[in-house]
Amino acid sequence: MATSTIVARSLPTLPEGWSAEKDFKPIGSITASTQRTIEPVGPHFLAHARRARHKRTFSEDDRIQAQESAKKIEKDDESDVSEPEDPLMLQREAKDWKSQDHYQVLGLSKYRWKATEEQIKRAHRKKVLKHHPDKKAAQGSTEDDNFFKCIQKATEVLLDPVKRRQFDSVDEKADVDPPNKKEQAKGNYYKLWSRVFKSEARFSKQQPVPTFGDENSTKEEVENFYNFWYNFDSWRSFEYLDEDVPDDNENRDQKRHMERKNANARKKKKAEDNARLRKLLDDCSASDERIKKFRQEANAAKNKKRLDKEAAEKKAKEDARLKKEAEEKAAKEAEEKAKTEREANKKAKEAAKNAVKKNKRVLRGSVKDANYFAGAGDASPAKIDAVLNDVELVQGKIDPDEIAALAGKLGGLKVADEIKGVWSEEVKRLIAAGKLKDGEAKALV
């Protein structure tokens, strides 16, 4: 028995002269009290309320709660409807456990890879209660315990994560067969294929897996789905189908040979499974109306782009042609205008030239009409030559406009003195302008 020792310790003495009135300093104050309503909660309060309501003691309440918990467990066990047991399955040899359907043995065929660990344990408990050799013997049954061993083996495999994954890899009964053309035509295409890929998705290392979608899926969603599955990263393996390797140290060569054989077989099965999945995807995509729709839209957009490009090129060619034609037309019009101007200038020059010739004839005719200023008798050849030479001299000193002006003055004059007076005025004008020297053109003065 433990003993205790009392140690006497005295409180320290207060400093000399200390008093509560002058040395005590409060650091806070107590607030006023507040009345609050508190509602009790929690499992202990509920247990207290249950005991008070039913007027139970602690032991009575614990016993009743244990009974209800047991009933709940039994009810949960009965909630999973047991599958009917195949008589042939009950006659299996325990040594053939590797070829048995572990889910069927435990009555979990409808769950398979979806079965939880709790469901497996409950199924095992139900099967053991039904097929335990001691219970069979108590019932007077002489059956062997082969099926009980099958139950134990199935539970061992399914509760081991590694062994269960190996078995799930080769569990073909969990696969969903792809729909054929007839089924696709009669049923919902997207629902049928969704079931297939949901079944295949159990092997994916990457979760969650993109869903198959429906007719309203976007192009991006459909492309993501097929890209995911065409690059599918599967954890599926085929070790479960390996042939047993002899555990004999004396047969090391045979053991290595068997290991290589199993490795090659797994590699082959893996390649076959990849080819199967790729064919599955090819068949699915070939009948996928969404892909056809997206291709048609892409082709339409591509054709529109091509047509727009062709239209732009055609417009550019047409614009170039019109521009060339406009330039050619402008050049032709300019050439024609230049030609017209040249012809007009030529005609003007010819007209001016003809006018000058005409005016010169008027000038020569005026002196002729004046009888070359010879008076009453006929003018001598020398006189005529002198007058005409002076006329030519004056014509050479004046421009066409001055010739025209002079011709205008002389036109219509018939009197020799008047004609000579006009010529004399013109000669004087030219002398004054410095175009003639004094003494030149004497025959006209």
Fold of 356-444: Helicase, Ruva Protein; domain 3 (1.10.8)
- Cα 419 from Cα 363, distance rounded (Å): 10
CA distances from 423 to 235, 249, 416 (A): 131, 156, 11
pLDDT in tens, 281-336: 999 998 888 999 989 988 888 888 888 888 889 999 999 999 999 999 988 988 88
d(CA 309, CA 288): 32
| Half-sphere exposure at residue 352, Cβ-oriented, CA atoms within 13 angstroms | 9
Q: Which of 154, 169, 163 has its CA nearest to residue 105?
A: 154
Topology annotation, domain 80-173: Helix Hairpins (1.10.287)
Phi–psi pair at 204, nearest 5 degrees:
-80, 135
Q: Read off the tokens for 182.
A: 């007839």
C-alpha span between 195 and 188 (Å, rounded): 11
Query: Per-residue pLDDT for the chain (445 aa), expressed as one digit of tens each?
Result: 456 678 777 777 877 777 777 777 777 778 888 888 887 878 888 889 899 989 999 889 888 988 887 666 555 555 555 678 888 887 888 788 888 999 999 999 899 999 999 999 999 999 888 888 877 676 666 566 888 899 999 999 999 999 999 999 999 888 888 888 888 777 788 899 999 999 999 999 998 999 999 989 999 999 999 999 999 999 998 888 888 776 665 577 888 888 889 899 999 999 999 999 999 999 999 888 899 998 998 888 888 888 888 888 999 999 999 999 999 998 898 888 888 888 888 888 888 788 888 877 877 777 777 777 777 777 788 877 877 887 788 778 888 888 788 778 877 777 777 777 878 888 888 888 888 888 777 777 7
The contacts of residue 422 (CB under 8 Å, 6+ apart) are 366, 406, 409, 410, 413
Which amino acid is it at 336? E
